[in-house]
Amino acid sequence: MLSPMSPRKPTIQATDIQHAKSLLSPGLKSLGPSLAKLFDPDLHKRDNGFAALQKQLEGRKLSTADALAIVRLVTEVTFPPMQFDWNDPVDELVFTLVENPGAALVAPLRAAYPKAPDAVKRATLAVFGATATRPAAEAFVTCIRDHGWPANVYGRVFTELSKLEKFSDVLFPELMLRSGALIGDVTNVLISALTSGELDPRQVDLSSLAPLAIAALPTCLAKVRKLQGRDIRWRFMERYQAVRTTTGAWLDIAGHVPAKQLGPLLERATKLRDPKLVAFAALSLVRRKHSVAAEVFERIAADHETRELLYDYLRNLGALAKFPAKWRTWDAFAAAEMARWLMYPSELGYVPERIELMQKFTAGKQTLYVWKFLDGKTWRAGVSGPYVLKGAPRPVWGASTFSQFERASSKTAEQHALTVLETLALWNKAHTAEAKKRAKRARSRRRSNVAGRADLRDG
């Protein structure tokens, strides 16, 4: 939970400010006044300093000297506590390195990792991924091996880690063996590497994962059976998510490791009520050249949450013929995309019990769908698309997929579509205006830097 931090006035020495300023490279000297405010005894002034620092760092391009200066700044300077724990200057500073990765940062960040605060460790791992070199992959694994994962690892770490897939022989299987509670995120990277061909299972020995999967899956399956319900919402409840992620990861891994004992466990998983876990189990059986009953694929394809997953996996396996023809239609994939949008925690948060087509409109080559979906006992309207429906039906994405959660009966399908399109047009206009303001501020800062220090073009 985000909460105010202690209002206790920190003990601040002038040498703290002086040391922080002394670490700034010539290209970062303009940050000096903002940094000084971060050391002010007054909490309000420290918050103002943080806001100013945020604005200066937004979209900033760093030279190597600038980036190395930030490494020293976040590892050598202790900043006083802020009023709110989300206003972390260390996190703000070090995260600029993720946007400005470089080979020169790997060694100093690797050396600083053992004693760095968790905010620096998290961003350091993301920087290693963004750097996308073999030394960076080696540094990532070494830091985890010797010092473990930091607390509260965020998704960006694994987004960047995927950029190291070409060095998967360095990452795996060790990262899997050390994944702990992060097994789902690490598995996603492993499976992506295997699917893309960046990791050849014949060249990397994954057999060490087999006994772990054999030991973990019975416990995982028992937990799922205990928590599973008969409706849909239980699949999206917070208490189930960790179990679902871990079980899905092991079911996915079971398709890539040679162990006969895993076959029966995968067969057992196809009997679960969660179609996503059924999908992982069925697809691993396909990968292991086992037969899967047609009704299993029917269950997976019939569910809006897992229809696209089944299509993508079967396509990657060269087995699209197994995808049920009934659900390989544009309407079915459009419904799946509407469901995907509604599943976001900031929206409905789960797949509706029912989604029904109200009407679809075609203009030129584009088709827009208007749906009604059941929210509790109320039918509400949503829009997905527009799509260019050309070729064989496949998963789709539309820039105007959205819902204002209005009652479906409050307007005609056409009126719902127009309302959504008008709302999105206004949002896009506001977003474009704000983007132009940010670009103007950035240009102004660059002109100011060049005018003040004509010899420092990378300021």
Residue-wise pLDDT for 346-366, tens only, equals 999 999 999 999 999 988 898
214 and 324 fall within a common domain: yes
341 and 324 fall within a common domain: no
Read off the pLDDT of residues 389-403 as tens digits, 9 standing for 90 and up: 999 999 999 988 999
Q: Is residue 219 part of a domain?
A: yes
Spell out the residues 6+ positions from residue 380 whose beta carbon is closer than 8 angstroms to its own: 372, 373, 403, 405, 406, 407, 408
DSSP string, 46-80: HHHHHHHHHHHHTT----HHHHHHHHHHHHH--PP
Q: Is residue 448 part of a domain?
A: no
pLDDT category of residue 7 using cuts at 50, 70 and 90: very low
pLDDT at position 75, please? 84
Distance in angstroms (rounded) separating the CA atoms of residues 19 and 252: 50
Checking if the pLDDT of 455 tops 50, the result is no
Average per-residue pLDDT for the chain: 87
383 and 335 fall within a common domain: yes
212 and 322 fall within a common domain: yes
Name the helix (H) or strand (E) containing 361.
strand 355-363
Least confident of 3-7, 168-172, 233-237: 3-7
278 and 364 fall within a common domain: no
Query: Of 328, 352, 374, which marks where a domain is finished?
Result: 328
Q: Is residue 382 part of a domain?
A: yes
324 and 261 fall within a common domain: yes
357 and 297 fall within a common domain: no
Can you give the residue range of the structural domain that contains 240?
A: 206-328
pLDDT at position 15, please? 66
Phi, psi of 373 (to 5 degrees): -135, 150
pLDDT at position 319, please? 96
Q: Is residue 151 part of a domain?
A: no
Q: Is residue 304 part of a domain?
A: yes
CB 10 within 8 A of CB 80: yes
Q: Is residue 170 part of a domain?
A: no
Checking if the pLDDT of 384 tops 60, the result is yes
The average pLDDT across 421-446 equals: 56
Question: Domain total for the chain?
Answer: 2
Checking if the pLDDT of 453 tops 70, the result is no
CB 123 within 8 A of CB 154: no
Please list the residues that pair with 388 across neighbouring strands: 366
Q: Measured in whole angstroms, how far is the alpha carbon of residue 369 from the centre of its chain?
A: 28
Please list the residues that pair with 373 across neighbouring strands: 355, 380
Q: Measured in whole angstroms, how far is the alpha carbon of residue 300 from the centre of its chain?
A: 24
Confidence (pTM)? 0.75
334 and 375 fall within a common domain: yes
CB 68 within 8 A of CB 25: yes
260 and 214 fall within a common domain: yes
CB 375 within 8 A of CB 400: no
Phi, psi of 388 (to 5 degrees): -100, 105
Amino acid identity of 192?
S
Q: Is residue 261 part of a domain?
A: yes
Q: Which long-range contacts (CB under 8 A, 24 or more apart) does 36-39 make?
A: 38/79, 38/80, 38/89, 39/12, 39/79, 39/80
Q: Other C-beta atoms within 10 Å of 160: how many?
A: 22
Distance in angstroms (rounded) separating the CA atoms of residues 293 and 272: 14
Q: Is residue 230 part of a domain?
A: yes
Q: 253: which 2 tokens?
A: 């891994």
The average pLDDT across 191-205 equals: 81
Query: Of 273, 296, 328, which marks where a domain is finished?
Result: 328
Read off the pLDDT of residues 63-76 as tens digits, 9 standing for 90 and up: 999 999 999 988 88
358 and 377 fall within a common domain: yes
The average pLDDT across 38-42 equals: 88
308 and 376 fall within a common domain: no
307 and 381 fall within a common domain: no
The average pLDDT across 205-223 equals: 92
CB 256 within 8 A of CB 206: yes
